[in-house]
């Protein structure tokens, strides 16, 4: 719409501006009415429409502006656009008024010279858009802001394109043992976008497989909506070991079809078992006995069990892999041992007495023959010497005597022999005498070897010594034996003042 403003001459000193006229052009103006037929009165003229009235037709527009705006200030014009029917190529133009400058708009418009442009494209009936435009008033007077719209009528039709499709999935174990059934699962699914009717699944078993005496099975899935699925299950039985390829198919009234196939190898498990134990262990010390069960066959061994009777004289401590005591034996339950796989298990025992203990283990499975193994551990004792020493009195004066008492105890579980003791004295103390045949030689006392010390037995030595020099004396006790050949030493501190 285009409007022209005419202001009255300033020569007449008229203080107010007068809007003298408005010319309107629009692509939406109704055509002139056709002449009335002869003898009929002419139709009434169309009502006058002002430039500020809403437009009519395919696109309805209204514009709102403030009644006044201050010079130099910003003000906003609001343009409301509403589609009365489906339209295409909708384009709105707004003219930047004279005596103003464009500031911004929401949504942003494309500026082309003195015009603002919004390319709206397609609009559906009832769809609306509100555009706001901010101008700056640069000069006194009346500001007229006009907008035009162009659009093409748009008519549409829709057709939904569907794709009838069906999907068949078949699952069954890749491998089983001869004594187990083959569980088969068929899943038919409408993988298309249209409803399927008369859906039927057929499974033809290969030679050597049967299901309740049948070699062919038919499942009626009925009708399936898009995305809907149905599941069918059955068990097949193999007459002999081998590889069985099992095909299945599905068909529908719409002509959609699919196939699926799965293969199961029927095998036989074969178990072996080995035993590993320490050749020797000491009394009272825990030791492990481990077993390895292996499946050397070509099928998984289910319900595999390892059993080891506990030898008399041994105490069971613990077991790995869930082993437990049952009926005087250590038992491990292995749910399934795959073909070519192994399982290691161990049990821990202790013995309070010496002896040789045999471990006779067996293994069996649901479809595997029992197998056995055996190993042994010899339990022996060990010596462990405790060296205790003390001085009394402490401290001592120079020239005063003190007594050192030495005690050796066998804390182990076996005899120790040829136990020797040597005591070395520092400069602050001189040895004077010793018991049990100890020989004093300068700053050293040497005791004769104690021939044999049984477990939990002990012997004692005493040494009399004299303080000869002020200081903190450190007396060293050194012990050796056949059972513990490496020297064991200890110090006793005595204060001399």
Q: How far apart are CA 305 and CA 303, in angstroms?
A: 6
Give me the pLDDT at residue 51, please. Answer: 79
Give me the pLDDT at residue 300, please. Answer: 85
Portion of the chain with pLDDT greater than 70, in percent: 90
44 found inside a domain: no
Model confidence pLDDT, tens digit, residues 467-478: 999 999 999 999
Give me the pLDDT at residue 45, please. Answer: 60
Q: Are residues 405 and 491 in the same domain?
A: yes
Model confidence pLDDT, tens digit, residues 286-332: 999 999 999 999 888 989 999 999 999 999 999 999 999 999 999 99
Give me the pLDDT at residue 16, please. Answer: 29
Compute the half-sphere exposure of residue 334: CA atoms within 13 Å on the CB side of its CA.
26
Domain boundary among 364, 380, 396: 380
Q: Are residues 275 and 262 in the same domain?
A: no
Q: Are residues 16 and 132 in the same domain?
A: yes
Q: Are residues 19 and 124 in the same domain?
A: yes
Domain boundary among 267, 295, 321: 267
Q: Are residues 223 and 190 in the same domain?
A: yes
The whole-model pTM stands at 0.43
């002509």: which residue's tokens? 255
Contact between 264 and 246 (Cβ < 8 Å): yes
Contact between 367 and 301 (Cβ < 8 Å): yes
CATH code for the domain in which residue 363 is found: 2.60.40.10
Q: Are residues 368 and 280 in the same domain?
A: yes
User: What is each CA distance from 449 to 334, 424, 455, 481, 482, in whole angstroms?
Assistant: 57, 17, 17, 9, 11
Q: Are residues 279 and 410 in the same domain?
A: no
Residue 208 belongs to domain spanning: 166-267
Six-digit token string for 73: 């200030």
User: What is each CA distance from 232 to 164, 169, 192, 226, in whole angstroms?
Assistant: 22, 11, 20, 19
Q: Are residues 366 and 395 in the same domain?
A: no
Model confidence pLDDT, tens digit, residues 245-255: 999 999 999 99
Domain boundary among 336, 357, 380: 380
Portion of the chain with pLDDT greater than 90, in percent: 78
Q: Are residues 290 and 318 in the same domain?
A: yes
Q: Are residues 419 and 468 in the same domain?
A: yes
Task: Work out how many domains the chain is built from and give that number.
Answer: 4
Model confidence pLDDT, tens digit, residues 204-214: 999 999 999 99
pLDDT-derived band at 13 (thresholds 50, 70, 90) equals: very low
Q: Are residues 170 and 126 in the same domain?
A: no
Q: Are residues 344 and 450 in the same domain?
A: no
CATH code for the domain in which residue 57 is found: 2.60.40.1170
> Which whole number is the average pLDDT over 142-166?
92
More confident residue, 21 or 471: 471
């Amino acid at each position: 719409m285009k409007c022209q403003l005419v202001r009255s001459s300033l020569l007449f000193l008229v203080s107010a501006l007068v809007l003298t006229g408005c010319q309107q052009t629009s692509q939406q103006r109704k055509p002139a009415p056709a002449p009335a037929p002869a003898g009929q009165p002419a139709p009434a003229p169309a009502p006058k429409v002002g430039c500020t009235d809403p437009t009519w037709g395919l696109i309805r527009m209204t514009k709102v502006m403030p009644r006044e705006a201050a010079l130099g200030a910003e003000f906003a014009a609001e343009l409301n656009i509403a589609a009365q029917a489906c339209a295409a190529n909708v384009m709105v133009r707004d003219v930047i008024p004279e005596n103003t400058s464009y500031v911004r708009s929401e949504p942003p418009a494309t500026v082309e010279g003195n015009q603002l442009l919004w390319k709206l494209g397609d609009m559906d009936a009832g769809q609306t858009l509100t555009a706001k435009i901010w101008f700056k008033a640069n000069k006194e007077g009346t500001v007229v802001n006009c907008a035009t719209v162009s659009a093409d009528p748009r008519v549409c039709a829709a057709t939904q394109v569907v794709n009838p499709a069906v999907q068949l999935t078949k699952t069954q174990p890749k491998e089983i043992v001869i004594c187990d059934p083959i569980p088969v699962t068929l899943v038919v699914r409408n993988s298309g976008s249209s409803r399927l009717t008369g859906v039927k699944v057929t499974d033809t078993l290969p030679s050597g497989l049967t299901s309740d005496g049948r070699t062919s099975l038919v499942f009626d899935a009925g009708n399936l909506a898009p995305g809907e699925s149905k599941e069918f299950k059955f068990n097949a039985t193999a007459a002999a070991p081998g590889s069985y390829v099992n095909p299945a198919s599905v068909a529908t009234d719409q002509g959609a079809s699919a196939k699926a196939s799965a293969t199961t190898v029927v095998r036989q498990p074969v178990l072996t078992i080995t035993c590993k134990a320490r050749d020797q262990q000491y009394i009272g010390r825990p030791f492990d006995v481990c077993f390895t069960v292996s499946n050397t066959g070509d099928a998984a061994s289910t319900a595999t069990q390892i059993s080891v009777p506990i030898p008399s004289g041994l105490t069971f401590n613990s077991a790995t892999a869930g082993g437990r005591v049952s009926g005087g034996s250590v038992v491990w339950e292995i749910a399934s041992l795959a073909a070519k796989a192994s399982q290691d298990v161990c049990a821990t025992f202790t013995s309070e007495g010496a002896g040789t203990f045999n471990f006779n283990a067996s293994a069996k499975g649901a479809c595997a023959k029992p197998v056995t193994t055996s190993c042994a551990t010899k339990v022996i004792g060990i010596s462990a010497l405790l060296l205790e020493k003390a001085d009394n009195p402490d401290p001592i004066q120079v020239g005063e005597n003190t007594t050192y008492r030495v005690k050796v105890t066998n804390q182990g579980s076996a005899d120790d022999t040829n136990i020797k003791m040597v005591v070395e004295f520092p400069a602050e103390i001189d040895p004077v005498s010793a018991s049990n045949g100890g020989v004093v030689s300068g700053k050293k006392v040497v005791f004769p070897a104690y021939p044999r010390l049984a477990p939990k037995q002990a012997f004692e030595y005493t040494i009399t010594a004299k303080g000869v020099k002020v200081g903190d004396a450190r007396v060293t006790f050194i012990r050796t034996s056949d059972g513990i050949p490496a020297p064991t030493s200890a110090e006793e501190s005595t204060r001399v003042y």
